[in-house]
Amino acid sequence: MSVLGVVALFLFTMCAPLVDTGFSYVAQVLAFCVAVSATGLILFGFPSLTASLSNPRLLAFAAAAAVLGVLAALPARPEVLAEGPSPVPLLALFLSNTLRIAAAAALGLALARHVTSPGVALLIAAVATATDLFSVFAGPTKAMVEGDAPALDFLLVIFPTFGQLLGFALGISDFIFLALFIAMSRLLNLRYTATTVGVCAGTLLAMITSLLLERPLPALPFISLIFVLVNADSILDSLLKRR
């Protein structure tokens, strides 16, 4: 599944900027759906693909992928992408995104291996929601966006859209928590497929809401809420057993 997701992301990255449909909400939402679906496939297959790796090796993989992803992002900086579609920046964008998503997947899986119960997963969802809300509306994310900090080029995964290289972006932290929730659902025997579909749908909902309101919104509250709703019965059973 991860390989299928990588192929889908490659085709979307290389082809979407060449298909100029003009701006429309339908085209934008379709681009959201393709990018998030490809990412979801990568994250869904990742735990099986790396099941034999110990946590130290998994973290070493995450570090290596992150470094390579940052290096690949250099020729795919927004000012370069703004010059128009060409093969080298497009390929660099694909490599940068794929490597950083893989790094996030590895880190999320490594963290998930330390989660012992659905009740702990609920606590993680609550903390992630509160932290993301604070960061976007009053904390470091707000400060970096308003100050146009150069670090944003490496902390954001930028996807193209139809007719444009600079389409939309999600933070690296969003991918880490997507991977964490998906991996937790597998390791805790929750609803693995439903969780993957649900958290991806939550990401899409956050992006579509942001598009309609014409302002950036944190994605983690949407993602966390759907994770909890999809696995509500198992989480409730875990909490009741602790009493």
49-76: average pLDDT = 88
Q: Measure the CA angle with vertex 107, ends 102 and 111; round to 5°.
A: 145
Q: Residue 45: how many CB atoms within 10 A of its CB? A: 19
Among the residues of 74-171, which ranges form H helices? 78-81, 87-112, 118-137, 140-146, 152-155
- pLDDT, mean of residues 111-136: 84
The arithmetic mean of pLDDT across residues 60-89, rounded, is: 80
Asked if pLDDT for residue 136 goes beyond 80, the answer is no
Summarised one tens digit per residue, pLDDT across range 169-212 is 888 888 999 999 999 999 988 889 999 999 999 999 999 998 88
H-helix or E-strand containing 169?
A: strand 164-171
User: What pLDDT, on a 0 to 100 scale, did the predictor assign at position 194?
Assistant: 93
**Domains identified in the chain, total number:** 1
- Averaged pLDDT for residues 79-86: 66
Predicted TM-score (pTM) of this structure: 0.87
